[in-house]
């Protein structure tokens, strides 16, 4: 679908096209998995609305498909755009001379990744699972997927060694840390290894939530340095952000890793320290120069970030979490994180990487269909979760209110599937020919 690797006889135009298209090709793989996972999500919504439909699928019922849906959303859609980011950081897309040979390896590396996901899909749908959410690698897939991650590392190391790099020492340190990822994936997939547990809810502790959120904050703080440049050499927002991040990291270390209830004030008070990032992250990103096409998704991901942090802390409070735990309310909050914040962030990153070709993600219908779909889904699930917290049978026994909420979830799920399908179609056209597809499919951005 994309131009092939440059050969010895290829001219500079072909070399540049190969380097340029690696971001389009990465986006295509990511969107293919997103569209497939969203189609499964629509199927799951049908199964929940009409439980009798599970019988049509024999043993391939909701319990099998939900694992496939969740894992593909994470390791297919949410992970592949981050590979594109690493390709930019390590100059894999360099179009200069022999250095473009690194770009030639992008396509096989992406297909190795997608093949590992396909094997994982076959494993999960046939009922082989580790029982660990988002770490469901088992059997052959537990070996194959870390190997796929390792091939990405080899490509980055090759680009680092063969292409002129800025900040070489920092990138060398990052390469060493990235080498740990496939090892940690294999080890953490073991069913014998579990994180600290909140004894009051059976969920994560405040300390573990603070830790995981600070990892996301670290990614947000590092992201601009691999994509663009600062507007000014010095920025108070940038300096303040790193100082506060260091302080909160020390706070996180002081809390330790133990089974602690959310009823302890130290847990929800320490988690409240994350609220400072609601205004700070927008100020931080405003200090950098971004492509004009990113404005729409940059605003979206910042709004989702603010809503996610605020509701995440509110839902962790005593009594509130006691009412919402193991209900559709937390399902809605998880979707706010993945489909709202994470997806908007990934789309923003891809638009920045694609530059002028980023129009494929900016059409009005798909933008509003996706964000409205996520918001409506969250509202519907919060309502269902609140009702379920008062009456656990609410979502088990079919009733008018329950069926209305689940019909709404099905409708917005279809909207999100159609939006992702439109992005996939636009990316496919872009791979075939950027100039012709832009004239046919592009839409002016207000």
**Greater model confidence, 9 or 206:** 206
Average pLDDT of span 286-293: 94
CA distances to 80, 119, 126, 160, 345 from 106, rounded to whole Å, are: 12, 20, 31, 14, 23
Q: What is the pTM of this model?
A: 0.89
Residue with tokens 């919402």, as numbered in its chain = 324
What average pLDDT does the chain have?
Answer: 87
412: its two tokens: 């917005």
Q: Distance (Å, rounded) from C-alpha 112 to C-alpha 106?
A: 10
Looking up tokens 């694609």, which residue turns up? 354
Confidence class of residue 5 from pLDDT cuts 50, 70 and 90? very low
56 pLDDT more than 60: yes
Helices (H) and strands (E) in the chain — how many of each?
A: 19, 0
pLDDT for 15 equals: 42
Please tell me the number of Cα atoms within 13 Å of 211 on its side-chain side: 14
Superfamily (CATH H level) for 1-194: Cytochrome c oxidase-like, subunit I domain (1.20.210.10)
Give the whole-number percent of the chain exceeding pLDDT 70.
91
Confidence of residue 21 (pLDDT cuts 50, 70, 90): confident
Domain(s) labelled CATH 1.20.210.10 in the chain stretch across 1-194
Residue 349 has pLDDT above 70, yes or no: yes
**Across 318-329, average pLDDT:** 88
Rounded Cα distance, 91 and 167, in Å = 12
Checking if the pLDDT of 94 tops 80, the result is no
Per-residue pLDDT averaged across 96-107, rounded? 68
**pLDDT of 6 over the 90 cut:** no
196: closest CA among 179, 212, 182? 212
- Predicted pLDDT of residue 345: 97
More confident position, 198 or 426: 426
Rounded average pLDDT over 187-197? 79
Confidence of residue 25 (pLDDT cuts 50, 70, 90): very high
- pLDDT over threshold 90, residue 380: yes
Q: 112-146 pLDDT, tens per residue?
A: 999 999 999 999 999 888 878 788 888 889 999 99
| pLDDT computed for residue 441 by the predictor | 41
pLDDT value of residue 95: 58
The owner of tokens 């396909």 is: 118
Contact 307, 336 (CB under 8 A): yes
- Based on its alpha-carbon atoms, the radius of gyration of the chain, rounded to whole angstroms, reads 22
Half-sphere exposure of 348 (CA within 13 A, CB side): 23
| Amino acid 302: pLDDT | 97
Residue 20's pLDDT band, with cuts at 50, 70 and 90, is low
């Amino acid at each position: 679908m994309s131009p092939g690797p440059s050969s010895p006889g290829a001219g500079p135009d072909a070399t540049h096209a190969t380097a340029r298209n690696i971001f389009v090709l990465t986006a295509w793989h990511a969107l293919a998995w997103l569209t497939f996972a969203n189609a499964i999500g629509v199927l799951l919504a049908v199964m929940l609305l009409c439980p009798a439909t599970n019988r049509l699928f024999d043993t391939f019922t909701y319990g099998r498909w939900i694992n496939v849906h969740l894992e593909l959303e994470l390791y297919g859609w949410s992970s592949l755009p981050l590979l594109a980011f690493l390709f930019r950081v390590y100059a894999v897309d360099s179009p200069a001379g022999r250095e473009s040979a690194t770009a030639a390896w992008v396509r096989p590396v992406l297909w190795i990744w997608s093949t590992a996901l396909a094997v994982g899909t076959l494993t999960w749908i046939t009922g082989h699972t580790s029982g660990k959410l988002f770490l469901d690698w088992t059997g052959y897939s537990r070996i194959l997927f870390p190997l796929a991650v390792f091939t990405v590392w080899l490509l980055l190391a090759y680009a680092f060694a063969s292409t002129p790099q800025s900040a070489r020492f920092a990138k060398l340190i990052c390469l060493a840390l990235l080498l740990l990822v496939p090892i940690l994936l294999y080890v953490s997939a073991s069913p014998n290894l579990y994180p600290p547990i909140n004894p009051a809810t059976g969920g994560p502790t405040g300390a573990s939530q603070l830790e995981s959120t600070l990892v996301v904050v670290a990614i947000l703080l590092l992201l601009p340095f691999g994509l663009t440049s600062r507007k000014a050499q010095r920025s108070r927002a940038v300096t303040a952000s790193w100082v506060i991040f260091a302080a909160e990291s020390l706070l996180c270390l002081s809390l330790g890793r133990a089974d602690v209830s959310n009823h302890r004030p130290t847990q929800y008070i320490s988690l409240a320290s994350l609220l400072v990032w609601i205004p700070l992250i927008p100020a931080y990103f405003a200090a950098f120069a971004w492509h004009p096409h990113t404005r729409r998704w940059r605003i979206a991901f910042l709004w989702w970030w603010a809503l996610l942090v605020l509701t995440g802390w509110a839902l962790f409070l005593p009594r509130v979490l006691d009412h919402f735990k193991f209900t559709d309310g937390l399902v809605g909050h998880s979707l706010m994180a993945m489909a709202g914040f994470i997806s908007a962030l990934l789309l923003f990153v891809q638009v920045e990487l694609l530059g002028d070709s980023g129009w494929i993600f900016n059409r009005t219908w798909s933008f509003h269909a996706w964000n409205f779909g996520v918001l409506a889904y969250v509202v519907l699930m919060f309502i269902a979760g609140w009702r379920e917290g008062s009456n656990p049978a609410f979502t088990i026994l079919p009733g008018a209110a329950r069926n209305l909420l689940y019909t709404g979830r099905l409708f917005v799920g279809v909207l999100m599937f159609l939006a992702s399908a439109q992005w996939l179609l636009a990316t496919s056209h872009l791979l075939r020919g950027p100039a012709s597809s832009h004239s046919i499919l592009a839409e002016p951005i207000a």
